[in-house]
Amino acid sequence: MLEICALASGSNGNCYYVGNEKDAVLIDAGISCRQILKRMTEKELNPQKIKAVFISHEHSDHIRGARVFEKKLKVPVYLTAKTYLGTYKNMQPAWPRFFEPGTPVAVGEFQIHSFLKNHDASEPCSFLVEYAGKNVGVFTDIGEPCENVISQIALCDAVFLESNYDEEMLRTGSYPYYLKQRVASSHGHLSNVQALKLLEENAGVHLKCVFLSHLSAENNTPELALAAHQPLTSRFEVRLTSRREAAEVFVL
């Protein structure tokens, strides 16, 4: 059995939980330690099961709470050396553990697979969490799907997939031009349309649930994201995540 939950998902903070009966890992810790623990308690998830935190990249909405979480729960924080060096010093883990993208890391009964992705960070990674023949992907902050993302999403039984912006909302919205260009660039974020196309063309036969993740507060709405992915609901379940609270726990 696997329990998976988006504790936070958005530009104000990202944190994703994957756990079995005795072990668990977090992918990213972009909200405060206090909020991570509060949201886990609300969803009846045991923080003592967490054996490691993996950081995708150095942007604060992915690493903000890692240092305090590491110290409070005595849990190792894994990140690449380049990500560590790119992180603000007050957010750097005190006892970092470095991994090389593409080299699996064993945590309890889990294998954590990392691979590089397209994003404007030092060495950004996505993750595939493997346990008992099942795979959970965490694929956010992707400018465009590279071969790594395309090949790994085909293996997923469940995936947290970025569906960041509606293209028309971004085009007509209040963001300055340079920021619109960054979001829509090949090293920015995935739109609803891009996420849909990625799933239509590459989702594997074992995929049971997609969690639409990292939705923009300014350039998307939950309704638009869900509507965009409606054509896929006959193949697998499509759920939303939230930037304000933990989503429902999904049992795989």
Q: Kindly report, residue by residue over 26-38, the tens digit of the pLDDT.
A: 999 999 999 999 9
Q: Is residue 252 part of a domain?
A: no
Q: Is residue 249 part of a domain?
A: no
pLDDT, residue 115, reads: 97
Residue 250 in any domain: the answer is no
- Beta bridge partners, 96, equal none
Q: What is the pLDDT of residue 191?
A: 98
Residue 133 lies in a domain: yes
Buried b (16+ CB within 10 A) or exposed e, 176-215: eeeebeebbeeebbbbbebbbebbeebbeeebebbbbbbb
Taking residues 82-111, report their average pLDDT.
Answer: 97
- What pLDDT band is residue 74 in, cutting at 50, 70 and 90? very high
Computed over every residue of the chain, the mean pLDDT equals 97
Is residue 217 included in any domain, yes or no?
Answer: yes
- The structural domain count of the chain equals 1
- Model confidence, pTM: 0.97
Q: Which of 68, 65, 63 has its CA nearest to residue 79?
A: 63
31 domain-assigned: yes
Give the pLDDT confidence score for residue 182 in this predicted structure.
95
Q: Does residue 51 fall inside a structural domain?
A: yes
Tokens encoding 229 = 């992915």
| Average pLDDT for 158-172 | 98
The predicted structure's pLDDT at residue 22: 96
**Domain CATH code at residue 194:** 3.60.15.10
Confidence of residue 20 (pLDDT cuts 50, 70, 90): very high
What's the pLDDT score for residue 84?
98
The pLDDT score that the predictor gives to residue 229 is 98
pLDDT of residue 197: 98
Q: In the predicted model, what is the mean pLDDT of residues 46-53?
A: 97
Q: What is the CA angle 116-203-248, rounded to 5?
A: 85
Q: Judge whether 21 lies within some domain.
A: yes
Residue-number span of the structural domain to which 78 is assigned: 3-243
Phi, psi of 105 (to 5 degrees): -120, 130
Query: Mean per-residue pLDDT for 220-226?
Result: 98
Q: What is the structure's pLDDT at 27?
A: 98
Residue 169 binned pLDDT confidence (cut-offs 50, 70, 90): very high
* Pairing verdict, β 3-8 and 237-240: unpaired
Question: How large a percentage of the chain has pLDDT more than 70?
Answer: 100
Q: What is the pLDDT of residues 197-216, one digit of tens each?
A: 999 999 999 999 999 999 99
